[in-house]
Chains A and B, each alone.
Chain A
Amino acid sequence: MPETAPRATQTSPPESMSIVLDHVGVTLQERPVLRGIDLVLEERRVGIVGLNGSGKSTLARLLNGLVLPDEGTVRVHGLDTRTQARAVRRAVGFVFQNPENQIVFPIVGEDVAFGLRNIGLPKRDAEARALAALAAHGLDGLADRPAHTLSGGEKQLLALVSVLVMEPRIVVLDEPTTALDLRNRNRIRAAIAGLAQTAIVVTHDLDLVSDFERVLVVDEGRIVADDAPEAALRWYRENRA
């Protein structure tokens, strides 16, 4: 089976509504990690799959400027991640694989409020919005709990809520279900399904992205398949399993 060619840039919606990677290359410690990536993402649900070390996380990190391209440009809603990093961070929320490392404050409610305080919200408003966001994801009642006493699933949901409360237009999630049991995995899956915004999900849990609009397969720093989930995942299973 021939490798699926990356999609042509379709009759495009306004550039301001999409993520555009133009000839992007990333080199980390003298090793090329991503090469010649051309992408236009405008779907509301995009999955990214691929083997360990293929470059998925690096690709995801490019989208909110945690990694900057060594070649080419990354534009999110028209914002250049290199020169407009702050605005890009506001537009793109990032949920990391290990929630442990992204919970910053000792108490759950305070952690959710942290990002809101950073964007200048007064304490009271930040706290009220934090409570509302926790409640929206079934975590009300945990607001006063020390974060380190939460279960793994609750921590991952907290990490997601702490990002969502900032109302980013795009949410990037890097392996959000890896450490979770079936029930918590389904909670995260439901939370993603319910998101109003664009979600880009890196995962080894192929089922998680099976009902997405588009799936990318990354291999050795390149995008080797880019299609509807069924076709892309079939390509991945047949060629890389």
Chain B
Amino acid sequence: MSPSLYVPGDGPLHRLPAGAKLAALAGLGVALFLVSSPIVLGAAALAAAGVVAATGVRLARLRGALAGVAIVVAIVVAANAWLAGWREAAAVGARIVALVLLGYALTLTTRTSDLLATLERLLAPLERIGLADAGKVALAVALVLRFVPELMKQAADIREARAARGLRVGPVALVVPMIVRVLRSADAIAEAIDARAYPPCKSPPTSAIPSSTGPGSADHDNA
């Protein structure tokens, strides 16, 4: 089960507006980088675990995702211990764990559409000065959330197929076929998004259906 997904519920975190949660995550994220005491950071990681527990989501749903994070954290901690000593390594490890857990707490309790709406609102000023297209950013985030679980499943399929043939699965053996698959589906996904009236029209909807033969506006895509 992917951590990137909303799990329906009605706990306090579910009821909090997406904007408030996003702001809290941003604020706590900055704070975590301002602190360097491993003890304080360790306490923060524990508190973050408490927040995840408070979402009411069963731990089993997070197991796969947490295992992945544990590996990354282990590598980072080992590298830091080697390069900068144990104190620094513990601080870095606790900081990552705290951030990841807070991120989970956010995505587990917030509908993607709410998250995206908030994101679009936040990006609106940037859009006004022409620096970003909020709608595009939001769609990109949605697609990542949508396809990460799919990719994880594909990775498992490839691993299984190779194991069935008695082959070992190194990272290269996994990554190459996955890139091929992603590129192959990217075109199809883009086409499907196109076919569903994307990009959005900014004006409010008129009649549901274009009515006549009139000379409509020439369109963007004459591929």
Contacts and interface: CB of A to CB of B under 8 A. Distances in A.
B163 interface: no
Q: How large is the interface on A (under 10, 10 to 19, 20 to 34, 35 or more residues)?
A: 35 or more
Contacts of B222: 68, 82, 85
Contacts of A166: 196-197
B4 A106 contact: yes
Contacts of B111: 107, 110
A67 B181 CA distance: 23
A119 B150 contact: no
A104 B195 CA distance: 12
B6 A91 contact: no
B47 to A, nearest CB: 28
B185 A100 contact: yes
B12 interface: no
Contacts, number: 143
Contacts of B170: none
Interface in B174-205: 185, 188-189, 191-205
B216 interface: yes
A16 B218 contact: no
A85 B196 contact: no
Given A104-B189, A148-B146, 15 more contacts: A68-B222, A85-B219, A85-B221, A101-B188, A101-B192, A104-B143, A104-B146, A104-B192, A105-B146, A110-B111, A118-B196, A148-B149, A148-B153, A166-B196, A167-B209
Interface of B: 2, 4-6, 8, 111-113, 117, 139, 142-143, 145-146, 149-150, 153, 185, 188-189, 191-205, 208-210, 212-213, 215-223
30 contacts: A16-B213, A66-B195, A68-B223, A83-B216, A83-B219, A84-B215, A84-B216, A84-B219, A85-B219, A86-B201, A86-B216, A86-B219, A89-B197, A96-B191, A98-B188, A101-B188, A101-B191, A102-B196, A103-B146, A104-B142, A104-B146, A106-B149, A114-B196, A115-B197, A118-B199, A119-B197, A146-B149, A148-B149, A166-B197, A169-B209
